[in-house]
Amino acid sequence: MSEQTQAVETQTEEFERRPVPASHRKGWKSFLGMYAGEHAAGTEFIIGPLFLTTGVSAFDLIIGLLVGNLLAVLSWRFLTAEIAVQNRLTLYYQLEKICGKKLVTGYNLANGILFCFLAGSMITVSATAVGVPFQMEMPQLTDTMPNSGMYILIVLIIGAVISLIAAKGYASVAKAANWMSPFIVLAFVVSGFVALRQLGVGSFSEFWAIWGEGSDPFPGQVKYTFWHVVLWSWFCNAAMHIGMSDLSVLRYARNANVGWTTAAGMYVGHYVAWIAAALLYAVYLQSPQAQVFLSAGEAPPVAPGPLAYNAIGFFGIIAVIIAGWTTANPTIYRAGLAFQAIIPKASTFWVTILAGTLATIAGIFPAFAMKLLDFVAVYGFILAPMGAIIVFEHFFAGKAGILKNYAEQRQISFNWVVLVAWVASVVLFYSLSVSQGIFLSFLTLPAWLLSGVLFLVLSYFLKNRRVT
């Protein structure tokens, strides 16, 4: 690496193509706020009501979320964080060493675009809050196109602000999250208690009775059981932990124990916030507007801004705006790193601005937010098996007798063994899901395991043996 390249990386503090030096590593406080803010986010206002529309029981929801979120935290701590602090590389550079430049370029492009779509859905969420004081017409679950010029204008403004913060780098993202996450957490807690009061709940038994023994799912929804809840909550962020996307973030951690800070996101966001959002939706279901949808055999829509405003007024509007903001920020940052890996000579600032622009364009189309649950499930399922390649190589390459970082060591640009392992596992289990009607989250772990095992077996028997 040239001295000029090293100087530029030191100045931007991103280190896209070399390990993060000790002088730039961060303690647990930098990650605690980021994870709490990212996962107590705008998505929770959409995901929470899911557990009412699917007819889940109280036990399956409350205990299932405890178990599923614990499994997610363990995945972050003992897989993602462990590999991140030992290698201190971005996901994209790590994959390049294994897969080769040409193969990882296609993966990075797809990954970056998908991250932009996810961030775009969060911009949509924030827009529903900003639009409340302006009496903006809210997008419905069936909407795919923007329904007003005001909606487009609000999305453009929010997207520009979020993109600029993300483009300033990880330190800026972490700082913004640390400042905002306490406010978001407070908003979810307060809105949950307000919703309980609106529902007339005065005891734990009455709270439990909101879900009770469960019910029939709403029209068009799947009936959720205990295992649906466990596996959904474990793998809704599969791309981040077992898919290894958070290598790009956790490479800054001083040690692997920083991985435990993900519990702030899982138990504040994916536990308290989901339940609080479900309570808000329970209040909405009692409204005349919701009853019209139900009587017509349709699931009532959810617009996060009005939902929060109904509970805690303008405080709720601000909370939804910031919640979408703190999710979109690190997501756009990750997308920028994906594009940076494709064009390493480009400025990190400008590739992140590019990612933010794509996210903003995606946010104009509400379909990405309205179909968020399906998108997240498919997204994690597709990317998780590629993460298995990194995990299995890191922990088992020595025992399997294969060469680590094969593409780099052999100076090849396309390691087709990786492609076969990844595609075969995705196609096999996705086809099984479609043909047999199996809940996709049930198949994420088998697909991940198959990909890792195939990679080791094919590498050993075909060409990637370590020379002794």
100-145 pLDDT, tens digit per residue, is 988 888 888 888 888 888 888 888 888 888 888 887 877 776 677 8
Mean pLDDT value of segment 10-25: 66
Residue 178 has pLDDT above 70, yes or no: no
Left if phi > 0, otherwise alpha if psi is -120 to 50, otherwise beta: which for 297? left
pLDDT at res. 67? 97
What is the band of 186 on the pLDDT scale with cuts at 50, 70, 90?
confident
Query: Can you read off the two tokens belonging to residue 411?
Result: 């100076």
pLDDT at res. 1? 39
Residue 8 has pLDDT above 60, yes or no: no
pLDDT at res. 19? 74
What is the band of 250 on the pLDDT scale with cuts at 50, 70, 90?
very high
What is the band of 248 on the pLDDT scale with cuts at 50, 70, 90?
confident
Mean pLDDT value of segment 224-250: 92
Q: According to the CATH classification, is domain 3-386 in 1.10.4160.10?
A: yes
Residue 68 CA to residue 228 CA, distance in Å, equals: 10
pLDDT at res. 142? 67
Mean pLDDT value of segment 188-216: 90
The answer to which of 176-185, 252-261, 295-304 has the lowest mean pLDDT is: 176-185
Give me the residue label for tokens 């419905």. Answer: 140
Residue 275 has pLDDT above 90, yes or no: yes
Q: Which residue has the higher pLDDT, 428 or 89?
A: 428
Query: Can you read off the two tokens belonging to residue 93?
Result: 């550079």
Residue 299 has pLDDT above 50, yes or no: yes
Query: Can you read off the two tokens belonging to residue 148?
Result: 């007003």
* Residues whose CB is less than 8 angstroms from the CB of residue 353 and which lie 6 or more positions away in sequence, other chains included: 163, 164, 167
> pLDDT tens-digit profile of 367-396?
777 777 678 888 889 999 999 999 999 999
Cα distances from 7 to residues 25, 166, 169, 172, 174, in angstroms, run: 18, 21, 16, 20, 23
The answer to which of 55-69, 125-139, 348-362 has the lowest mean pLDDT is: 125-139
Residue 467 CA to residue 361 CA, distance in Å, equals: 50
pLDDT at res. 52? 84
Q: Which residue has the higher pLDDT, 86 or 376?
A: 86
Tell if the pTM clears 0.95, that is, is over it. no
> Where are the domains positioned within the chain?
3-386
pLDDT at res. 260? 96
Residue 345 has pLDDT above 60, yes or no: yes
Mean pLDDT value of segment 38-43: 75
pLDDT at res. 464? 59
AA identity, residue 208: W
Mean pLDDT value of segment 156-173: 77
Sign, CA dihedral 97-99-102-107, equals negative
Residue 309 CA to residue 316 CA, distance in Å, equals: 5
Average pLDDT score over the chain? 84
Residue 269 CA to residue 188 CA, distance in Å, equals: 9
pLDDT at res. 170? 59
